[in-house]
Structure 1
Amino acid sequence: METVEKAARTEPYALLRASLALFRKAPDKLDPAQLQQAEAQARNEYRLESRVLNAPEAAGVIIPEREWQAAYQEIRDRYEDESAFLRELAKNRLTEETLRAALYRQCKVNAVLEKIAARSPEVSEVEIGIYYHLHAEQFNRPELREVSHIFISINPDFPENTRENAWDRIQDVRARLLKKPHKFAELALKYSECPTSLNGGTLGKVPRGKLYPELDAVLFSMKAGEVSQVLESEIGFHVLLCKQIHRAETISLKNATPKIRQLMKERYRRNCQRAWLASLPVAETEGKSYGG
Protein backbone atom coordinates (compact mmCIF):
# COMPACT_ATOMS: atom_id res chain seq x y z
CA MET A 1 0.00 0.00 0.00
CA GLU A 2 2.82 2.36 0.87
CA THR A 3 4.46 1.72 -2.52
CA VAL A 4 1.25 2.54 -4.39
CA GLU A 5 0.72 5.73 -2.39
CA LYS A 6 4.31 6.78 -3.03
CA ALA A 7 3.89 6.15 -6.75
CA ALA A 8 0.71 8.22 -6.74
CA ARG A 9 2.79 11.25 -5.78
CA THR A 10 4.94 10.85 -8.90
CA GLU A 11 4.15 13.02 -11.92
CA PRO A 12 1.63 10.83 -13.81
CA TYR A 13 2.99 11.14 -17.34
CA ALA A 14 6.55 10.56 -16.18
CA LEU A 15 5.41 7.43 -14.36
CA LEU A 16 3.52 6.19 -17.42
CA ARG A 17 6.56 6.70 -19.66
CA ALA A 18 8.87 4.92 -17.21
CA SER A 19 6.45 2.03 -16.81
CA LEU A 20 6.12 1.52 -20.56
CA ALA A 21 9.87 1.88 -21.12
CA LEU A 22 10.81 -0.62 -18.42
CA PHE A 23 8.02 -3.18 -18.61
CA ARG A 24 5.85 -2.29 -21.63
CA LYS A 25 2.87 -2.10 -19.29
CA ALA A 26 0.82 0.70 -17.75
CA PRO A 27 1.45 1.45 -14.04
CA ASP A 28 -1.79 -0.24 -12.92
CA LYS A 29 -0.57 -3.51 -14.48
CA LEU A 30 2.71 -3.62 -12.53
CA ASP A 31 3.41 -5.68 -9.45
CA PRO A 32 4.64 -3.78 -6.35
CA ALA A 33 8.35 -4.31 -7.11
CA GLN A 34 7.94 -3.19 -10.72
CA LEU A 35 5.88 -0.20 -9.67
CA GLN A 36 8.57 0.86 -7.24
CA GLN A 37 11.23 0.60 -9.95
CA ALA A 38 9.15 2.57 -12.46
CA GLU A 39 8.34 5.20 -9.83
CA ALA A 40 12.04 5.67 -9.00
CA GLN A 41 12.97 6.04 -12.68
CA ALA A 42 10.12 8.48 -13.26
CA ARG A 43 11.24 10.68 -10.38
CA ASN A 44 14.84 10.69 -11.58
CA GLU A 45 13.86 11.53 -15.14
CA TYR A 46 11.46 14.25 -14.05
CA ARG A 47 14.12 15.88 -11.89
CA LEU A 48 16.66 15.75 -14.69
CA GLU A 49 14.16 17.25 -17.12
CA SER A 50 13.43 20.03 -14.62
CA ARG A 51 17.12 20.85 -14.51
CA VAL A 52 17.15 20.99 -18.31
CA LEU A 53 14.17 23.35 -18.39
CA ASN A 54 15.64 25.60 -15.69
CA ALA A 55 18.94 25.96 -17.55
CA PRO A 56 19.72 29.29 -19.29
CA GLU A 57 19.81 27.46 -22.64
CA ALA A 58 16.08 26.69 -22.31
CA ALA A 59 15.05 30.34 -22.01
CA GLY A 60 14.96 31.05 -25.73
CA VAL A 61 13.46 27.73 -26.84
CA ILE A 62 9.96 28.05 -28.25
CA ILE A 63 7.90 25.02 -29.20
CA PRO A 64 5.40 25.55 -32.05
CA GLU A 65 1.89 24.53 -31.07
CA ARG A 66 1.67 22.20 -34.07
CA GLU A 67 4.53 20.10 -32.67
CA TRP A 68 3.01 19.20 -29.32
CA GLN A 69 -0.48 19.07 -30.81
CA ALA A 70 0.79 16.49 -33.30
CA ALA A 71 2.19 14.44 -30.41
CA TYR A 72 -1.15 14.70 -28.62
CA GLN A 73 -3.09 13.67 -31.73
CA GLU A 74 -0.79 10.69 -32.30
CA ILE A 75 -1.69 9.39 -28.85
CA ARG A 76 -5.38 10.21 -29.29
CA ASP A 77 -5.51 8.27 -32.59
CA ARG A 78 -4.51 5.05 -30.85
CA TYR A 79 -8.01 4.79 -29.38
CA GLU A 80 -11.26 3.91 -31.12
CA ASP A 81 -13.26 6.78 -29.68
CA GLU A 82 -13.13 9.71 -27.30
CA SER A 83 -14.59 7.82 -24.35
CA ALA A 84 -11.95 5.09 -24.55
CA PHE A 85 -9.26 7.75 -24.73
CA LEU A 86 -10.59 9.61 -21.70
CA ARG A 87 -10.94 6.40 -19.71
CA GLU A 88 -7.31 5.56 -20.37
CA LEU A 89 -6.23 9.05 -19.33
CA ALA A 90 -8.21 8.83 -16.10
CA LYS A 91 -6.75 5.39 -15.34
CA ASN A 92 -3.29 6.98 -15.51
CA ARG A 93 -4.32 10.05 -13.48
CA LEU A 94 -4.20 12.28 -16.55
CA THR A 95 -6.60 14.68 -18.22
CA GLU A 96 -6.51 16.15 -21.71
CA GLU A 97 -5.07 19.33 -20.24
CA THR A 98 -2.36 17.64 -18.18
CA LEU A 99 -1.42 15.37 -21.09
CA ARG A 100 -1.00 18.38 -23.38
CA ALA A 101 1.12 20.08 -20.72
CA ALA A 102 3.27 16.98 -20.31
CA LEU A 103 3.77 16.66 -24.05
CA TYR A 104 4.70 20.33 -24.34
CA ARG A 105 7.24 19.81 -21.56
CA GLN A 106 8.66 16.73 -23.28
CA CYS A 107 8.93 18.55 -26.62
CA LYS A 108 10.75 21.43 -24.95
CA VAL A 109 13.19 19.13 -23.17
CA ASN A 110 13.94 17.40 -26.49
CA ALA A 111 14.42 20.76 -28.21
CA VAL A 112 16.85 21.96 -25.55
CA LEU A 113 18.86 18.74 -25.80
CA GLU A 114 18.89 19.10 -29.58
CA LYS A 115 20.19 22.64 -29.16
CA ILE A 116 23.01 21.35 -26.96
CA ALA A 117 23.79 18.50 -29.37
CA ALA A 118 24.25 21.05 -32.14
CA ARG A 119 27.37 22.23 -30.30
CA SER A 120 29.12 18.92 -30.96
CA PRO A 121 32.21 19.14 -33.19
CA GLU A 122 32.21 18.08 -36.82
CA VAL A 123 33.75 14.71 -37.63
CA SER A 124 36.99 15.07 -39.56
CA GLU A 125 38.18 12.91 -42.43
CA VAL A 126 41.19 11.90 -40.32
CA GLU A 127 38.92 10.62 -37.53
CA ILE A 128 36.88 8.67 -40.06
CA GLY A 129 40.02 7.09 -41.49
CA ILE A 130 41.27 6.12 -38.03
CA TYR A 131 37.92 4.53 -37.15
CA TYR A 132 37.87 2.61 -40.43
CA HIS A 133 41.31 1.08 -39.87
CA LEU A 134 40.72 0.33 -36.18
CA HIS A 135 37.43 -1.44 -36.91
CA ALA A 136 38.31 -3.17 -40.17
CA GLU A 137 36.26 -6.25 -39.24
CA GLN A 138 33.06 -4.20 -39.48
CA PHE A 139 33.68 -3.56 -43.16
CA ASN A 140 34.51 -7.09 -44.26
CA ARG A 141 31.43 -8.86 -45.58
CA PRO A 142 31.62 -12.66 -45.70
CA GLU A 143 30.41 -14.66 -48.67
CA LEU A 144 26.66 -15.23 -48.47
CA ARG A 145 24.50 -17.77 -50.22
CA GLU A 146 20.83 -17.04 -50.79
CA VAL A 147 19.21 -20.41 -50.23
CA SER A 148 15.87 -22.21 -50.04
CA HIS A 149 15.25 -25.78 -48.94
CA ILE A 150 12.68 -28.54 -48.83
CA PHE A 151 12.79 -30.68 -45.71
CA ILE A 152 11.29 -34.05 -44.82
CA SER A 153 11.88 -35.40 -41.33
CA ILE A 154 12.79 -38.93 -40.26
CA ASN A 155 10.46 -40.13 -37.53
CA PRO A 156 9.81 -43.88 -37.20
CA ASP A 157 6.69 -43.15 -35.12
CA PHE A 158 4.89 -42.11 -38.30
CA PRO A 159 4.61 -44.52 -41.28
CA GLU A 160 5.14 -41.77 -43.86
CA ASN A 161 8.29 -40.59 -42.06
CA THR A 162 10.18 -43.82 -41.59
CA ARG A 163 13.66 -43.53 -43.05
CA GLU A 164 12.72 -45.50 -46.16
CA ASN A 165 9.49 -43.60 -46.84
CA ALA A 166 11.06 -40.19 -46.12
CA TRP A 167 13.87 -41.04 -48.56
CA ASP A 168 11.42 -42.04 -51.30
CA ARG A 169 9.37 -38.85 -50.75
CA ILE A 170 12.34 -36.50 -50.90
CA GLN A 171 13.74 -38.26 -53.97
CA ASP A 172 10.40 -37.86 -55.71
CA VAL A 173 10.33 -34.13 -54.86
CA ARG A 174 13.87 -33.68 -56.17
CA ALA A 175 13.00 -35.46 -59.42
CA ARG A 176 10.15 -33.00 -59.94
CA LEU A 177 12.48 -30.10 -59.21
CA LEU A 178 14.97 -31.20 -61.83
CA LYS A 179 12.20 -31.09 -64.43
CA LYS A 180 10.68 -27.81 -63.21
CA PRO A 181 13.14 -25.95 -60.93
CA HIS A 182 11.03 -22.78 -61.23
CA LYS A 183 8.39 -24.54 -59.12
CA PHE A 184 10.64 -24.82 -56.06
CA ALA A 185 8.49 -22.49 -53.92
CA GLU A 186 5.31 -24.31 -54.94
CA LEU A 187 6.78 -27.73 -54.11
CA ALA A 188 8.20 -26.42 -50.82
CA LEU A 189 4.76 -25.20 -49.79
CA LYS A 190 3.25 -28.55 -50.71
CA TYR A 191 5.83 -30.99 -49.34
CA SER A 192 8.32 -29.35 -46.97
CA GLU A 193 7.85 -29.95 -43.25
CA CYS A 194 9.82 -26.86 -42.29
CA PRO A 195 7.92 -23.67 -41.25
CA THR A 196 9.78 -21.94 -44.08
CA SER A 197 7.49 -23.81 -46.48
CA LEU A 198 5.00 -20.97 -46.05
CA ASN A 199 7.61 -18.69 -47.61
CA GLY A 200 8.62 -20.97 -50.43
CA GLY A 201 11.27 -22.70 -48.34
CA THR A 202 13.36 -19.54 -48.13
CA LEU A 203 16.17 -19.58 -45.57
CA GLY A 204 17.53 -16.21 -46.70
CA LYS A 205 21.14 -15.13 -47.07
CA VAL A 206 23.38 -17.33 -44.95
CA PRO A 207 27.13 -17.21 -44.22
CA ARG A 208 29.33 -20.25 -43.80
CA GLY A 209 28.71 -22.16 -40.59
CA LYS A 210 25.06 -21.26 -40.08
CA LEU A 211 23.45 -24.44 -41.43
CA TYR A 212 24.04 -28.03 -40.43
CA PRO A 213 27.59 -29.03 -41.47
CA GLU A 214 26.30 -31.54 -44.03
CA LEU A 215 24.27 -28.79 -45.72
CA ASP A 216 26.85 -26.05 -45.30
CA ALA A 217 29.59 -27.98 -47.08
CA VAL A 218 27.41 -28.62 -50.12
CA LEU A 219 25.77 -25.21 -50.28
CA PHE A 220 29.10 -23.38 -50.54
CA SER A 221 30.18 -25.59 -53.43
CA MET A 222 27.03 -25.03 -55.47
CA LYS A 223 26.47 -22.71 -58.42
CA ALA A 224 23.72 -20.11 -58.50
CA GLY A 225 20.46 -21.70 -59.63
CA GLU A 226 21.65 -25.23 -58.83
CA VAL A 227 19.54 -27.83 -56.99
CA SER A 228 21.45 -30.11 -54.64
CA GLN A 229 21.41 -33.85 -54.24
CA VAL A 230 19.33 -35.14 -51.34
CA LEU A 231 21.26 -34.30 -48.18
CA GLU A 232 20.88 -35.82 -44.75
CA SER A 233 21.26 -33.97 -41.46
CA GLU A 234 20.58 -35.12 -37.93
CA ILE A 235 16.90 -34.18 -38.31
CA GLY A 236 16.09 -35.55 -41.76
CA PHE A 237 16.47 -35.07 -45.51
CA HIS A 238 16.92 -31.81 -47.39
CA VAL A 239 17.10 -30.52 -50.92
CA LEU A 240 18.74 -27.13 -51.35
CA LEU A 241 18.35 -24.47 -54.00
CA CYS A 242 21.24 -22.02 -54.21
CA LYS A 243 19.36 -19.01 -55.54
CA GLN A 244 22.16 -16.45 -55.59
CA ILE A 245 25.79 -16.02 -54.54
CA HIS A 246 26.95 -12.85 -52.82
CA ARG A 247 30.72 -12.83 -52.93
CA ALA A 248 32.83 -11.76 -49.97
CA GLU A 249 33.85 -8.14 -50.15
CA THR A 250 35.54 -5.39 -48.23
CA ILE A 251 33.67 -2.10 -48.12
CA SER A 252 36.01 0.67 -49.18
CA LEU A 253 36.78 3.66 -46.99
CA LYS A 254 34.94 5.84 -49.49
CA ASN A 255 31.76 3.78 -49.31
CA ALA A 256 32.01 3.34 -45.54
CA THR A 257 32.54 7.05 -44.86
CA PRO A 258 28.84 8.13 -44.68
CA LYS A 259 28.01 5.41 -42.16
CA ILE A 260 31.10 6.12 -40.05
CA ARG A 261 30.44 9.85 -40.13
CA GLN A 262 26.85 9.34 -38.93
CA LEU A 263 27.91 6.93 -36.20
CA MET A 264 30.64 9.25 -34.90
CA LYS A 265 28.39 12.30 -35.17
CA GLU A 266 25.75 10.62 -33.01
CA ARG A 267 28.43 9.65 -30.51
CA TYR A 268 29.71 13.24 -30.34
CA ARG A 269 26.16 14.51 -29.90
CA ARG A 270 25.48 12.13 -27.00
CA ASN A 271 28.78 12.98 -25.34
CA CYS A 272 28.05 16.68 -25.69
CA GLN A 273 24.62 16.23 -24.11
CA ARG A 274 25.98 14.08 -21.27
CA ALA A 275 28.70 16.59 -20.43
CA TRP A 276 26.19 19.44 -20.41
CA LEU A 277 23.70 17.50 -18.26
CA ALA A 278 26.44 16.67 -15.78
CA SER A 279 27.27 20.36 -15.49
CA LEU A 280 23.74 21.43 -14.53
CA PRO A 281 23.26 22.52 -10.93
CA VAL A 282 21.21 20.27 -8.68
CA ALA A 283 18.14 21.99 -7.26
CA GLU A 284 17.91 22.22 -3.49
CA THR A 285 14.50 20.56 -3.58
CA GLU A 286 15.77 17.44 -5.32
CA GLY A 287 15.47 14.38 -3.17
CA LYS A 288 12.26 15.71 -1.59
CA SER A 289 8.74 14.56 -2.49
CA TYR A 290 7.04 16.47 -5.29
CA GLY A 291 3.81 16.46 -7.17
CA GLY A 292 1.79 15.42 -4.13
Structure 2
Amino acid sequence: MSEQTAGPERRYRLLRVSLDRFGCEPRALDDKQQKQAERIVARQLEIEEAVLRSPEAIGVVIPESQVRHAWKSIGERYEDEAALSMALEHQGLDVEGVSNLLARELKVEAVLERISTGAPEISDTDVSLYYFSHIEQFDRPETRRARHILLTINPEFPENTREASRTRIQAIAHRLGNKPERFAEQAMKHSECPTSLQGGTLGDVKRGTLYPQLEDCLFGLKEGEISPTVESPMGFHLMLCEAITPSGRMPLEEVLPRLRDWLQSRQRQARQRQWLETLLEKSAPLEELAHG
Protein backbone atom coordinates (compact mmCIF):
# COMPACT_ATOMS: atom_id res chain seq x y z
CA MET A 1 0.00 0.00 0.00
CA SER A 2 1.45 3.39 -1.01
CA GLU A 3 1.52 6.43 1.28
CA GLN A 4 -1.03 8.14 -0.98
CA THR A 5 -3.62 5.35 -0.75
CA ALA A 6 -3.11 4.58 2.96
CA GLY A 7 -5.55 6.01 5.49
CA PRO A 8 -4.57 8.99 7.68
CA GLU A 9 -3.97 6.79 10.73
CA ARG A 10 -1.46 4.69 8.80
CA ARG A 11 0.25 7.73 7.24
CA TYR A 12 0.53 9.42 10.63
CA ARG A 13 1.89 6.29 12.28
CA LEU A 14 4.41 5.80 9.48
CA LEU A 15 5.66 9.36 10.00
CA ARG A 16 6.05 8.81 13.76
CA VAL A 17 7.78 5.44 13.39
CA SER A 18 10.16 6.81 10.75
CA LEU A 19 11.15 9.72 12.98
CA ASP A 20 11.41 7.69 16.19
CA ARG A 21 13.12 4.59 14.80
CA PHE A 22 15.18 5.92 11.88
CA GLY A 23 15.44 9.67 12.52
CA CYS A 24 14.03 10.67 9.15
CA GLU A 25 10.78 11.11 7.26
CA PRO A 26 9.19 8.16 5.39
CA ARG A 27 10.38 9.39 1.99
CA ALA A 28 14.00 8.99 3.15
CA LEU A 29 13.64 5.32 4.17
CA ASP A 30 15.33 2.65 2.09
CA ASP A 31 13.41 -0.49 1.06
CA LYS A 32 14.46 -2.51 4.11
CA GLN A 33 13.59 0.31 6.52
CA GLN A 34 10.27 0.90 4.73
CA LYS A 35 9.21 -2.73 5.16
CA GLN A 36 10.28 -2.73 8.82
CA ALA A 37 8.42 0.52 9.49
CA GLU A 38 5.26 -0.81 7.81
CA ARG A 39 5.34 -3.98 9.95
CA ILE A 40 5.63 -1.86 13.09
CA VAL A 41 2.79 0.40 11.95
CA ALA A 42 0.52 -2.55 11.17
CA ARG A 43 1.08 -3.99 14.64
CA GLN A 44 0.54 -0.61 16.31
CA LEU A 45 -2.74 -0.10 14.49
CA GLU A 46 -3.92 -3.59 15.40
CA ILE A 47 -3.23 -2.92 19.07
CA GLU A 48 -4.72 0.58 18.92
CA GLU A 49 -8.00 -0.65 17.43
CA ALA A 50 -8.32 -3.45 19.98
CA VAL A 51 -7.61 -1.11 22.92
CA LEU A 52 -10.09 1.54 21.79
CA ARG A 53 -12.85 -1.08 21.32
CA SER A 54 -12.27 -2.50 24.80
CA PRO A 55 -14.67 -1.84 27.72
CA GLU A 56 -11.75 -0.29 29.62
CA ALA A 57 -11.63 2.58 27.07
CA ILE A 58 -15.14 3.74 27.94
CA GLY A 59 -15.11 7.06 29.73
CA VAL A 60 -11.46 7.86 29.02
CA VAL A 61 -11.20 11.50 27.90
CA ILE A 62 -7.97 13.26 26.88
CA PRO A 63 -7.68 16.95 27.90
CA GLU A 64 -6.93 19.44 25.13
CA SER A 65 -3.86 20.62 27.07
CA GLN A 66 -2.37 17.13 26.80
CA VAL A 67 -2.88 17.14 23.02
CA ARG A 68 -1.21 20.56 22.78
CA HIS A 69 1.77 19.26 24.77
CA ALA A 70 2.08 16.29 22.40
CA TRP A 71 1.93 18.70 19.44
CA LYS A 72 4.78 20.69 20.95
CA SER A 73 7.00 17.60 21.22
CA ILE A 74 6.39 16.86 17.52
CA GLY A 75 7.09 20.46 16.50
CA GLU A 76 10.43 20.42 18.32
CA ARG A 77 11.73 17.95 15.74
CA TYR A 78 11.51 20.58 13.00
CA GLU A 79 13.28 23.87 12.40
CA ASP A 80 10.06 25.88 12.31
CA GLU A 81 6.31 25.63 11.68
CA ALA A 82 6.82 25.85 7.92
CA ALA A 83 9.03 22.74 7.95
CA LEU A 84 6.46 20.89 10.07
CA SER A 85 3.62 21.90 7.76
CA MET A 86 5.62 20.73 4.73
CA ALA A 87 6.28 17.34 6.36
CA LEU A 88 2.58 16.91 7.18
CA GLU A 89 1.53 17.97 3.70
CA HIS A 90 3.89 15.45 2.14
CA GLN A 91 2.14 12.73 4.18
CA GLY A 92 -1.29 14.00 3.19
CA LEU A 93 -1.97 15.17 6.75
CA ASP A 94 -3.18 18.44 8.24
CA VAL A 95 -3.16 20.04 11.69
CA GLU A 96 -6.75 19.16 12.58
CA GLY A 97 -6.38 15.57 11.43
CA VAL A 98 -3.14 15.04 13.32
CA SER A 99 -4.65 16.61 16.46
CA ASN A 100 -7.42 14.01 16.34
CA LEU A 101 -4.89 11.23 15.80
CA LEU A 102 -2.78 12.48 18.71
CA ALA A 103 -5.84 12.44 20.96
CA ARG A 104 -6.53 8.88 19.80
CA GLU A 105 -2.95 7.83 20.52
CA LEU A 106 -3.00 9.47 23.95
CA LYS A 107 -6.25 7.68 24.75
CA VAL A 108 -4.61 4.33 24.05
CA GLU A 109 -1.78 5.27 26.42
CA ALA A 110 -4.29 6.35 29.07
CA VAL A 111 -6.15 3.03 28.82
CA LEU A 112 -2.91 1.09 29.20
CA GLU A 113 -2.02 3.24 32.20
CA ARG A 114 -5.42 2.44 33.69
CA ILE A 115 -4.75 -1.28 33.20
CA SER A 116 -1.35 -1.09 34.87
CA THR A 117 -2.61 0.68 37.99
CA GLY A 118 -3.93 -2.66 39.25
CA ALA A 119 -0.44 -4.15 39.44
CA PRO A 120 0.54 -5.09 43.01
CA GLU A 121 2.99 -2.79 44.77
CA ILE A 122 6.58 -4.00 44.96
CA SER A 123 7.59 -4.53 48.59
CA ASP A 124 11.03 -4.27 50.21
CA THR A 125 10.99 -8.07 50.40
CA ASP A 126 10.47 -8.30 46.62
CA VAL A 127 13.39 -5.93 46.07
CA SER A 128 15.66 -7.83 48.45
CA LEU A 129 14.78 -11.14 46.82
CA TYR A 130 15.68 -9.82 43.38
CA TYR A 131 18.89 -8.23 44.67
CA PHE A 132 20.23 -11.39 46.30
CA SER A 133 19.08 -13.59 43.40
CA HIS A 134 20.94 -11.38 40.88
CA ILE A 135 23.80 -10.20 43.05
CA GLU A 136 26.32 -10.15 40.19
CA GLN A 137 24.33 -7.36 38.49
CA PHE A 138 25.30 -5.02 41.30
CA ASP A 139 29.05 -5.36 40.98
CA ARG A 140 30.48 -1.90 40.22
CA PRO A 141 33.71 -1.60 38.18
CA GLU A 142 36.48 0.79 39.14
CA THR A 143 35.93 4.25 37.66
CA ARG A 144 38.05 7.39 37.35
CA ARG A 145 36.56 10.88 37.24
CA ALA A 146 38.61 12.51 34.52
CA ARG A 147 39.26 15.62 32.47
CA HIS A 148 41.40 15.95 29.38
CA ILE A 149 42.90 18.53 27.06
CA LEU A 150 43.18 17.61 23.37
CA LEU A 151 45.24 19.21 20.63
CA THR A 152 44.57 17.60 17.26
CA ILE A 153 47.07 16.86 14.51
CA ASN A 154 46.22 18.29 11.08
CA PRO A 155 49.05 19.11 8.63
CA GLU A 156 46.73 21.46 6.71
CA PHE A 157 46.95 24.01 9.54
CA PRO A 158 50.35 25.36 10.63
CA GLU A 159 49.35 25.44 14.31
CA ASN A 160 48.25 21.80 14.17
CA THR A 161 51.16 20.09 12.49
CA ARG A 162 52.52 17.24 14.56
CA GLU A 163 55.45 19.24 15.94
CA ALA A 164 53.40 22.39 16.49
CA SER A 165 50.70 20.51 18.43
CA ARG A 166 53.32 18.70 20.50
CA THR A 167 55.06 22.00 21.34
CA ARG A 168 51.75 23.65 22.28
CA ILE A 169 50.60 20.85 24.57
CA GLN A 170 53.99 20.72 26.28
CA ALA A 171 53.65 24.45 26.95
CA ILE A 172 50.21 23.82 28.51
CA ALA A 173 51.68 21.01 30.61
CA HIS A 174 54.41 23.38 31.80
CA ARG A 175 51.87 26.01 32.81
CA LEU A 176 49.87 23.43 34.73
CA GLY A 177 52.86 21.98 36.53
CA ASN A 178 51.38 20.36 39.62
CA LYS A 179 48.33 22.63 39.69
CA PRO A 180 45.26 20.48 38.93
CA GLU A 181 43.01 23.37 40.00
CA ARG A 182 43.98 25.16 36.74
CA PHE A 183 43.15 22.19 34.49
CA ALA A 184 39.54 23.16 33.70
CA GLU A 185 40.61 26.73 32.89
CA GLN A 186 43.34 25.53 30.50
CA ALA A 187 40.95 23.04 28.89
CA MET A 188 38.41 25.80 28.21
CA LYS A 189 41.11 28.00 26.66
CA HIS A 190 43.05 25.48 24.61
CA SER A 191 41.37 22.07 24.20
CA GLU A 192 40.06 21.24 20.71
CA CYS A 193 37.55 18.72 22.00
CA PRO A 194 33.86 19.67 22.48
CA THR A 195 34.36 18.82 26.16
CA SER A 196 36.33 22.05 26.45
CA LEU A 197 33.01 23.82 27.07
CA GLN A 198 32.75 21.81 30.31
CA GLY A 199 36.38 22.30 31.28
CA GLY A 200 37.45 19.10 29.54
CA THR A 201 35.33 16.83 31.73
CA LEU A 202 34.95 13.20 30.68
CA GLY A 203 32.89 12.26 33.72
CA ASP A 204 33.28 8.92 35.51
CA VAL A 205 35.18 6.65 33.13
CA LYS A 206 35.34 2.86 33.34
CA ARG A 207 37.70 0.60 31.44
CA GLY A 208 36.84 -0.10 27.81
CA THR A 209 35.44 3.33 26.96
CA LEU A 210 38.56 5.28 25.91
CA TYR A 211 41.34 4.69 23.40
CA PRO A 212 43.77 2.13 24.93
CA GLN A 213 46.54 4.75 25.15
CA LEU A 214 44.31 7.09 27.16
CA GLU A 215 42.88 4.32 29.32
CA ASP A 216 46.32 2.99 30.25
CA CYS A 217 47.40 6.51 31.12
CA LEU A 218 44.30 7.43 33.15
CA PHE A 219 44.19 4.22 35.17
CA GLY A 220 47.87 4.62 36.02
CA LEU A 221 47.35 8.04 37.62
CA LYS A 222 46.86 8.80 41.30
CA GLU A 223 43.95 10.90 42.49
CA GLY A 224 44.61 14.56 41.65
CA GLU A 225 47.53 13.71 39.34
CA ILE A 226 48.07 15.18 35.83
CA SER A 227 49.50 12.91 33.15
CA PRO A 228 52.44 13.52 30.86
CA THR A 229 51.60 14.09 27.20
CA VAL A 230 49.92 11.04 25.69
CA GLU A 231 49.11 10.47 22.01
CA SER A 232 45.97 8.83 20.61
CA PRO A 233 44.54 8.63 17.06
CA MET A 234 42.82 11.96 17.88
CA GLY A 235 46.02 13.83 18.72
CA PHE A 236 47.91 14.82 21.88
CA HIS A 237 46.26 14.77 25.32
CA LEU A 238 46.83 15.75 28.90
CA MET A 239 44.76 13.78 31.42
CA LEU A 240 43.67 14.67 34.94
CA CYS A 241 42.38 12.05 37.37
CA GLU A 242 40.11 13.95 39.75
CA ALA A 243 38.79 11.03 41.79
CA ILE A 244 38.97 7.24 41.99
CA THR A 245 35.98 5.04 42.80
CA PRO A 246 37.25 1.51 43.49
CA SER A 247 35.41 -1.55 42.26
CA GLY A 248 32.93 -3.12 44.64
CA ARG A 249 29.38 -4.24 45.14
CA MET A 250 26.63 -1.65 45.47
CA PRO A 251 24.84 -2.22 48.78
CA LEU A 252 21.13 -2.96 48.83
CA GLU A 253 20.40 0.32 50.62
CA GLU A 254 21.98 2.27 47.75
CA VAL A 255 20.06 0.56 44.93
CA LEU A 256 16.76 -0.07 46.73
CA PRO A 257 14.77 3.01 45.54
CA ARG A 258 15.79 2.73 41.87
CA LEU A 259 15.48 -1.05 41.88
CA ARG A 260 11.99 -0.86 43.34
CA ASP A 261 10.95 1.64 40.63
CA TRP A 262 12.40 -0.63 37.91
CA LEU A 263 10.67 -3.74 39.27
CA GLN A 264 7.38 -1.84 39.59
CA SER A 265 7.67 -0.61 36.00
CA ARG A 266 8.45 -4.13 34.80
CA GLN A 267 5.44 -5.50 36.65
CA ARG A 268 3.15 -2.81 35.19
CA GLN A 269 4.42 -3.59 31.69
CA ALA A 270 3.85 -7.32 32.23
CA ARG A 271 0.27 -6.60 33.30
CA GLN A 272 -0.31 -4.47 30.20
CA ARG A 273 1.21 -7.13 27.96
CA GLN A 274 -0.94 -9.89 29.45
CA TRP A 275 -4.10 -7.78 29.05
CA LEU A 276 -3.19 -6.92 25.44
CA GLU A 277 -2.52 -10.55 24.55
CA THR A 278 -5.94 -11.56 25.94
CA LEU A 279 -7.58 -8.63 24.14
CA LEU A 280 -6.00 -9.49 20.79
CA GLU A 281 -6.96 -13.15 21.14
CA LYS A 282 -10.59 -12.13 21.70
CA SER A 283 -10.61 -9.72 18.74
CA ALA A 284 -9.01 -12.15 16.27
CA PRO A 285 -12.03 -14.50 15.95
CA LEU A 286 -14.34 -11.50 15.44
CA GLU A 287 -12.20 -10.22 12.57
CA GLU A 288 -12.04 -13.68 11.01
CA LEU A 289 -15.84 -13.86 11.20
CA ALA A 290 -16.19 -10.41 9.63
CA HIS A 291 -13.93 -11.38 6.71
CA GLY A 292 -15.22 -14.94 6.34
- Given the two structures, how large is their TM-score scaled by the length of structure 2? 0.75
Instruction: Give the letter for the 2:283 counterpart.
Output: V
Structure 2 stretches of 5 or more lacking a match? none
> Structure 2 matches for 1:1-292, cutoff 5 A?
3-4=2-3, 7=6, 11-72=10-71, 74-75=73-74, 80-81=80-81, 86-150=85-149, 161=162, 172-178=171-177, 180-188=179-187, 200-208=199-207, 216=215, 219-220=218-219, 222-228=221-227, 230=228, 239-280=238-279, 281-283=282-284, 284-285=286-287
Question: Mean alpha-carbon deviation: is it higher for 242-251 or for 149-158?
Answer: 149-158
| Whole-angstrom CA distance in 2 between matches of 1:8 and 1:60 | 26
**Alpha-carbon deviations, 1:144-170, whole Å to 9, x = none?**
2222344678999999636xx887765
**Alpha-carbon deviations, 1:122-162, whole Å to 9, x = none?**
21322211211122233232332222344678999999636
Instruction: Note the C-alpha offset of 1:63.
Output: 2.5
Secondary structure of the corresponding residue to residue 57 of structure 1:
helix
| Whole-angstrom CA distance in 2 between matches of 1:191 and 1:238 | 11
Instruction: Give the letter for the 1:19 counterpart.
Output: S
| Whole-angstrom CA distance in 1 between matches of 2:24 and 2:71 | 20
| Whole-angstrom CA distance in 2 between matches of 1:32 and 1:154 | 40
Q: Is the 8 A contact 2:218 2:241 kept in 1?
A: yes
Q: Is the 8 A contact 1:16 1:92 kept in 2?
A: yes
1:136/1:93 Cα in 2 relative to 1: closer, same or farther (>3 Å)? same
Secondary structure of the corresponding residue to residue 283 of structure 2:
coil
Instruction: Note the C-alpha offset of 1:3.
Output: 4.4
Instruction: Note the C-alpha offset of 1:55.
Output: 1.0
Q: Is the 8 A contact 1:225 1:242 kept in 2?
A: yes
**Alpha-carbon deviations, 1:197-221, whole Å to 9, x = none?**
5654444322356556666566445
| Whole-angstrom CA distance in 2 between matches of 1:131 and 1:187 | 47
Instruction: Give the letter for the 2:89 counterpart.
Output: A
Q: Is the 8 A contact 2:226 2:239 kept in 1?
A: yes
Instruction: Note the C-alpha offset of 1:189.
Output: 5.6
Secondary structure of the corresponding residue to residue 145 of structure 1:
strand
| Whole-angstrom CA distance in 1 between matches of 2:30 and 2:133 | 46
**Alpha-carbon deviations, 1:11-31, whole Å to 9, x = none?**
332232233333332233334
Instruction: Note the C-alpha offset of 1:269.
Output: 0.8
Q: Is the 8 A contact 1:173 1:187 kept in 2?
A: yes
Question: Mean alpha-carbon deviation: is it higher for 111-120 or for 248-257?
Answer: 248-257
Larger radius of gyration: 1
Q: CA RMSD in A?
A: 3.9
Secondary structure of the corresponding residue to residue 62 of structure 2:
coil
What number of residue pairs does the alignment pair up?
284
| Whole-angstrom CA distance in 2 between matches of 1:171 and 1:85 | 50
Q: Is the 8 A contact 1:10 1:42 kept in 2?
A: no
**Alpha-carbon deviations, 1:239-286, whole Å to 9, x = none?**
432222334443221221111111111111111111111111225447
Q: Is the 8 A contact 1:120 1:272 kept in 2?
A: yes
Instruction: Note the C-alpha offset of 1:51.
Output: 0.7
Identity of aligned residues (%): 40
Q: Is the 8 A contact 2:4 2:91 kept in 1?
A: no
Structure 1 stretches of 5 or more lacking a match? none
